[in-house]
């Protein structure tokens, strides 16, 4: 009877094995159950029932069945091995490892136990032990590709990349159509920096498994690293077709689109990544960069703030937030953001640099210089920091230091256009005008369309060096590149005046005012032309009044307005205009001089005139015109010797001043009757200005007083010809 039961039990086990083989797992279980009913201590039945339960995913039951099989047959290495597999699948790695160890104790040549033991150790993070286990498996069963594959993967995790490649190559020899090994092979090549080879390997993986989203994604990363950006985008697109909820792929795609300048698409990609992964600080950060590049600065700030909320100690996020705020001209907030970035990363030169820019914008120039200095300490070859330091020093009137800063920027980068430009402005401030012209010339050579350099160089040539034709050429050239810059048209007008091309100058000022009707400088300059050169005084006055609408506190407008009013014989209004100029700028020598001339020459208020001229001399002791006009006022006050001394001082300062020689001669002749000395003065004036009719007239008078009638008559004739 016992033999029949055993036979029947074995028969049911055999049926179970066949059903299991056919993947009819429920039938297999029923067969094993029948066998166990007949023979409860049949270890083989319990063991195979455990395998079927594993195939059904009923792993806890499978473990219990392996345990029963092992109770009945404790030296069955295979049962211990498969028990380990079930425990491994349940994530009970330490128990699985113990089971594999027991299997190996029973059968040290069980290759698969060594192999799976290696996987369990690897998953436990015990990589060196895992590698040793995998190596044992390769020695016992070198013909199995998956053993080499896991050996290679463990080496990969250990960073032993060349050895990993060798293992993967062995897998490829054994199983050349395994897409997964080609993918891992590609990943190791990528880590080794052998990017072109990695692409080839990814290509093979995708030939074998074209719907592998990870392979498309990884190949996209490598193509990105190779600078093949459009191809990278195409790969990310394919990965996302296959796996549309991959936030990382959307993120990487956004980065590449950003690099390609396809900014709108980049932001869309980041938006999709954030829908999938809204708490990823890195995605918010790059989203901010994309928005900043699009000029959507307020949104960029919001994105950076979201990144900071998720990752408060991210110095880069604080820095980039500061940059966006800087562009928004929110300088105080930008500085606060830079300060936080510096707390987190105090040695970042770029943060100190940009902090300096924000401080400079706020007029906190000394702090800006200190910030630039710190930036330069950290990165001494940053030409931009030296250049911006020069700008701040210029604004502080520390021009020599500014020049040294610009020169240092140019040592680092001899072709730095804006540093040459700032150097030109600095040299201008130092009154080293020819050097300034040369510096601007360097800008124009490097960047021929630099309209501001053409303008500034032209202004120097015109206003200081009297090279008017060259200046006009500059302004015309600037207008090719900046035809709507009103300042160029205004300065062009000045050059045209000095070339006596007055109507063209009027047209130039008119164009400036068409472009910028509220430009007080243009109204002032046009008014001065109409007043001083064209004698169109009513129009001039209209221009000055218009300038005052937009710059009511510009003392130069009030002074020039006074000149127009004098010529319109509106003298008291002229006095009021000069008075207003001096209220606005009490140390304006031109206003004091103009007021004095009005009081002296038109209103005969000589004491007040003398006070005005002496105020000029206090401010500008070497102002020749003040000394000459002072002499006129003193004559009218009958202080003749003092007047003579005033003219002598004018001539000490400017020996070629015709008016001083003429007025002194008139004083000597008309009031002091010192005719010989007077004649000497008139002769000197004629040497300097032979066609001055008034000098010839006064010479005739003095010659007549000396009884030299024929010479007097000849001198008078000369006067009449010139008049």
Quick check: 113 and 84 in contact, CB under 8 A? Answer: yes
Closest CA relative to residue 371, chosen from 403, 397, 339, 398 = 339
Give the per-residue pLDDT at 8. Answer: 78
Cα torsion angle, 470, 476, 480, 486, sign:
positive
DSSP 206-224: HHH-TT-HHHHHHHHHHHH
Q: 682 and 701 share a domain?
A: yes
Cβ–Cβ under 8 Å, residues 662 and 682: yes
Looking at the chain, the number of H-run helices and the number of E-run strands are 42, 0
Helix H or strand E segment including 33: helix 25-38
Distance (Å, whole) CA 457 – CA 689: 32
Token output for 52: 């079927």
576: CB partners within 8 A, 6+ apart: none
CB 617 within 8 A of CB 626: yes
Tokens of 605: 């208020």
Measured CA to CA, the distance from residue 202 to residue 223 in angstroms comes to 11
Distance CA 621, CA 613 (A): 11
Angle made by CA atoms 599, 601, 606, in degrees to the nearest 5? 50
How big, in percent rounded to 5, are the helix, strand and coil portions of the chain? 80, 0, 20
Q: Tell me how far apart the alpha carbons of residues 436 and 413 are, in angstroms, rounded to a whole number.
A: 19
Token pair for 279: 């708490």
The CATH number that applies at residue 601 is: 1.25.40.10
> Which tokens in the block code for residue 45?
């039945």
| Torsion angle defined by CA atoms of residues 585, 590, 595 and 596, in that order, rounded to the nearest 10 degrees | 130
What lies within 8 Å, CB to CB, of 383 at 6+ separation is 409, 410, 412, 413, 416, 419
Q: Report which of 492, 510, 511, 513 is spatially closest to residue 501, judged by C-alpha positions.
A: 492
Q: What is the CA radius of gyration of the chain?
A: 48
Query: How far is residue 136's CA from residue 117's CA, in Å, rounded to a whole number?
Result: 10
| Same domain (yes/no): 681, 632 | no
606 phi and psi, to 5 degrees?
-70, -40
What whole-number distance in Å separates Cα of residue 202 and Cα of residue 683?
Answer: 100
How far is Cα 647 from Cα 631, in angstroms, rounded to an integer? 6
Angle between helices 451-463 and 468-481 (to 10 degrees): 160
Given 621, 654, 687, which residue is the final one in a domain?
654
For residues 350 and 338, is the Cβ–Cβ distance under 8 A?
no
Q: How many beta carbons lie within 10 A of that of residue 33, not counting itself? A: 14
Q: How far apart are CA 547 and CA 565, in angstroms?
A: 15
Q: Buried (b) or exposed (e) across 219-236, using 16+ Cβ within 10 A? A: bbbbbbeeebbebbbebb
Q: What single DSSP character describes residue 534?
A: S
List per-block mean pLDDT (blocks of 10 residues) for the chain, which spans 723 residues: 65 92 93 92 94 95 96 95 96 96 96 95 96 95 93 94 93 92 92 94 94 96 96 97 97 96 96 97 97 96 97 97 97 98 97 98 97 98 98 97 98 98 97 96 97 97 95 97 97 96 96 96 95 95 97 96 96 96 96 96 96 97 97 96 97 96 96 96 96 95 95 94 91
d(CA 229, CA 645): 83
Q: Residue holding tokens 């472009």?
A: 515
Q: Tell me the Ramachandran region of residue 447: left when phi exceeds 0, alpha when psi lies from -120 to 50, beta otherwise.
A: beta
In a domain, 526, yes or no: no
664 lies in some domain:
yes
Instruction: Answer yes or no: do 591 and 620 share one domain.
Output: yes
Cβ distance 510 to 500 under 8 Å?
A: no
> What local confidence, expressed as pLDDT, does residue 513 receive?
96
Give the residue from 604, 631, 654 where a domain finishes: 654
pLDDT at 659: 95
Last residue of a domain, one of 654, 679, 694: 654
Residue 247 burial (CB count, 10 A) = 16
Q: Quote the tokens at residue 649.
A: 């001082």
Smallest Cα–Cα separation from 447: which of 423, 425, 422, 420? 420
108 Cβ neighbours under 8 A, 6+ residues apart? none
* Intra-chain end-to-end CA distance of the chain, in Å: 159
Specify the pLDDT at position 4: 56
Question: Nearest CA to 179 among 168, 190, 189?
Answer: 168
- Chain centroid, CA 197 distance in Å: 37
Write out the residue range of the structural domain in which residue 597 sits: 587-654
> Residues 649, 661: one domain?
no
| CA 691/CA 714 separation, integer angstroms | 14
**Mutual angle of helices 365-378 and 383-395, in 10-degree steps:** 160
**CA–CA separation, 253 vs 313, rounded Å?**
26
465 DSSP assignment: S
Could you tell me if residue 103 is inside a domain? no
Let me know: does 352 contact 336? Beta carbons within 8 Å.
Answer: no
Phi, psi of 458 (to 5 degrees): -60, -40
In the prediction, which pLDDT does 1 show? 43
Shared-domain flag, residues 668 and 648: no
Residue 542, both tokens: 């209209």
Q: Is residue 386 part of a domain?
A: no
Angle between helices 555-567 and 589-601 (to 10 degrees): 20
DSSP state of 107: -
Contacts of 532 (CB under 8 A, 6+ apart): 563
Looking up tokens 């601007």, which residue turns up? 440
344 in a structural domain: no
Count: domains in the chain: 2
Where helices occur in 226-330 by DSSP H, the ranges are 229-242, 247-259, 263-276, 281-293, 297-310, 315-327
Residue 525 inside a domain? The answer is: no
- The answer on 670 and 646 residing in a single domain is no
> Is 604 inside a domain boundary?
yes
Has residue 674 been placed in a domain?
Answer: yes
Residues found in the chain: 723
Residues 650 and 700 in one domain: no
User: Residue 330: left if φ>0, alpha if ψ -120 to 50, beta else—which one?
Assistant: beta
Cα 655 to Cα 624: distance, rounded to the nearest angstrom:
10
The dihedrals phi and psi of 46, each to the nearest 5 degrees, come to -60, -40
């Amino acid at each position: 009877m016992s033999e029949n039961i055993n036979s029947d039990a074995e028969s049911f086990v055999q049926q179970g094995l066949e059903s299991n083989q056919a993947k009819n797992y429920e039938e297999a279980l029923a067969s094993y159950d029948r066998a166990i009913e007949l023979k409860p201590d049949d270890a083989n039945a319990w063991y195979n029932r455990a395998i079927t339960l594993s195939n059904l995913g009923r792993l806890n039951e499978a473990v219990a069945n392996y345990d029963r099989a092992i109770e009945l047959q404790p030296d069955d290495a295979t049962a211990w091995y498969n028990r380990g597999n079930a425990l491994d699948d349940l994530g009970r790695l330490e128990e699985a490892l113990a089971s594999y160890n027991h299997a190996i104790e029973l059968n040290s040549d069980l290759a698969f136990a060594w192999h799976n033991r290696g996987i369990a150790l690897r998953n436990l993070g015990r990589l060196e032990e895992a590698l040793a286990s995998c190596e044992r498996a390769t020695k016992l069963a070198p013909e199995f590709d998956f053993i080499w594959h896991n050996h290679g993967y463990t080496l990969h995790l250990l960073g032993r990349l060349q050895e990993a490649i060798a293992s993967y190559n062995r897998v490829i020899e054994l199983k050349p159509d395994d897409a997964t090994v080609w993918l891992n092979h590609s990943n190791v090549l990528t880590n080794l920096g052998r990017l072109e080879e990695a692409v080839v390997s990814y290509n093979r993986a995708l030939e074998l498994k074209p719907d592998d989203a990870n392979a498309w994604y990884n190949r996209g990363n490598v193509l990105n690293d190779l600078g093949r950006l459009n191809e990278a985008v195409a790969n990310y697109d394919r990965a996302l077709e296959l796996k549309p909820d991959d936030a990382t792929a959307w993120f990487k795609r956004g980065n590449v689109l950003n690099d390609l300048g396809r900014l709108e698409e980049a932001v869309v990609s980041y938006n999709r990544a954030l829908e999938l992964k809204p708490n990823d600080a890195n995605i918010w950060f790059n989203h901010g960069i994309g928005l900043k590049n699009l000029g959507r600065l307020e949104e960029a700030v919001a994105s950076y703030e979201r990144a900071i909320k998720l990752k408060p100690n991210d110095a880069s996020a604080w820095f980039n937030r500061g940059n966006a705020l800087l562009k928004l001209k929110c300088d105080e907030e930008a500085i606060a953001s830079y300060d936080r970035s510096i707390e987190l990363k105090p040695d970042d030169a770029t943060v100190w640099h940009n902090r300096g820019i924000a401080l400079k914008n706020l007029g906190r120039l000394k702090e800006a210089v200190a910030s630039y200095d710190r930036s330069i300490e950290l990165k001494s070859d940053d030409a931009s920091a030296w250049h911006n330091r020069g700008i701040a020093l210029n604004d502080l009137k520390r021009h020599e230091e500014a020049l040294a800063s610009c020169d240092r920027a140019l040592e680092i980068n001899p072709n730095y256009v804006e540093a040459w430009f700032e150097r030109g402005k600095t040299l201008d401030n130092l009154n080293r005008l020819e050097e300034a012209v040369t510096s601007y010339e360097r800008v124009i050579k490097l960047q021929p369309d630099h309209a501001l350099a053409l303008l500034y160089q032209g202004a120097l040539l015109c206003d200081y060096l009297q090279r008017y034709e060259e200046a006009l050429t500059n302004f015309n050239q600037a207008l090719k590149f900046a035809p709507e810059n009103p300042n160029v048209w205004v300065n062009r007008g000045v050059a045209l005046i000095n070339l006596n091309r007055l109507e063209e100058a009027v047209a130039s000022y008119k164009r400036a005012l068409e472009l910028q009707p509220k430009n007080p400088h243009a109204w002032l300059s046009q008014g001065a032309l109409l007043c001083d050169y064209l004698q169109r005084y009513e129009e001039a006055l209209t221009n000055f009044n218009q300038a005052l609408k937009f710059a009511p506190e510009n003392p130069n407008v009030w002074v020039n307005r006074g000149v127009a009013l004098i010529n319109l014989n509106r003298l008291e209004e002229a006095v009021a205009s000069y008075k207003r100029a001096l209220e606005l700028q009490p140390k304006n020598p031109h206003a004091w001089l103009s007021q004095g001339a009005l009081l002296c020459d038109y209103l005969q208020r000589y004491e007040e005139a003398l006070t005005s001229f002496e105020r000029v001399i206090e401010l500008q002791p070497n102002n020749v015109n003040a000394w000459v006009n002072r002499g006129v006022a003193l004559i009218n006050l009958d202080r003749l010797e003092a007047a003579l001394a005033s003219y002598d001082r004018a001539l000490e300062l400017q020996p070629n001043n015709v008016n001083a020689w003429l007025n002194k001669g008139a004083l000597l002749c008309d009031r002091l009757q010192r005719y010989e000395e007077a004649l000497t003065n008139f002769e000197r004036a004629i040497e300097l200005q032979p066609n001055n009719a008034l000098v010839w007239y006064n010479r005739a008078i003095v010659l007549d007083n000396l009884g030299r009638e024929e010479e007097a008559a000849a001198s008078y004739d000369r006067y009449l010809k010139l008049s």
